[in-house]
Structure 1
Amino acid sequence: MTKSRDAVHEILRQSGGFRSAQDVFAEMRADGSKIGLTTVYRALQSLSDAGRVDVLRTDEGESVYRACQSDTHHHHLVCRVCGRTVEVAGPDVERWAEVVGAEHGFIDVTHTVEVFGTCSSCAASRGETPSATPSGAAGKAAGKG
């Protein structure tokens, strides 16, 4: 499994963006690998469990994967148009998750937060202008959603 896991991880490191298991499988097969789709899924799960890949659920509900660019807990801001992804810290989200968990008697609270929008490049190409949000408002909004 380690050899397969390393090969899958290398595909993700080279691509930079988020990729589906089927995309990874197709690329590996096109490169001559005899790997099976089930093995790709197992490798991706193993890499995710080890914290070596980020997993994101798209608006359509599909899981996509990317080699982690950060060793610390983070969230993603994802462009719906081009897929550009930015890793962002979310200290307000972290505090909010802990408070909500504690209010309901939960411990060891974990969470996943993905924020989707349209990046400035895609907005500009569509003739739209991104609106600026004061930093205080962004923190308050993060705590509500």
Structure 2
Amino acid sequence: MVATQRRNTSQRAAILAALAGTDEFISAQDLHSVLRGSGSTIGLATVYRALQDMAGGGDLDTVRRDSGEILYRQCGDAQHHHHLVCRTCGRTQEVEAPSVERWARAVAAEFGYADINHELELFGVCAVCTAADTA
């Protein structure tokens, strides 16, 4: 199998620059609006393709909303990790979960699977939003 090399395009650079400006996950539509607001002529389809390619290549983290919409973010941690995401404000905390890793390996081994991967996102309401709701 021949590995495909991802092209460094001006559109990809613009997307990465916009993502670098936030620590939160963002939808393709919202990212497109940010780009257009800064004067870019990039199309929404191009944003979707580039985000999917970068996420598939491990350059971006993704989480899926309850609605099924995928959100994207440049990740500060290149190591495998999971996310705790606030359903109200979108604040995200990267978390390591060694017990989840052990469980995933054990389940895979039990059923004879190899070369596994997984994603885990926990959704809740952060302390700031909880305090705001009770104020």
What fraction of aligned residue pairs are identical, expressed as a percent?
48
Q: How many residues align?
A: 128
CA distances 1:48-93 after superposition (whole Å, capped 9, x unpaired): 1232211110111100001111110010001111111000011111
Per mean C-alpha deviation after superposition, the further-off stretch among 30-39 and 79-88 is 30-39
Instruction: Give SS of 2:67's match.
Output: coil
TM-score, structure 1 length as denominator? 0.83
Which of 85, 100, 105 is matched with 1:93 structurally?
A: 100
Which of 85, 107, 121 is matched with 2:114 structurally?
A: 107
CA shift for structure 1 position 46: 2.1
CA shift for structure 1 position 121: 1.2
The aligned counterpart of 2:4 is none
Q: Given the alignment of the two structures, is residue 120 of structure 1 paired with residue 127 of structure 2, yes or no?
A: yes
- Structure 2: gaps of 5 or more residues: 1-6
Which of 26, 44, 51 is matched with 2:51 structurally?
A: 44
* Counterpart-to-counterpart distance in 2, 1:9 and 1:37: 15
Contact 1:101 1:107 in 2 (8 A): yes
TM-score, structure 2 length as denominator? 0.89
* Counterpart-to-counterpart distance in 2, 1:124 and 1:32: 38
- Structure 1: gaps of 5 or more residues: 129-145
* Counterpart-to-counterpart distance in 2, 1:6 and 1:52: 12
- Residue pairs, 1:1-145, within 5 angstroms: 2=8, 3-127=10-134
* Counterpart-to-counterpart distance in 1, 2:32 and 2:97: 33
Contact 1:5 1:46 in 2 (8 A): no
- Tell me which protein shows more helix as a share of its residues: 1
* Counterpart-to-counterpart distance in 2, 1:96 and 1:41: 33
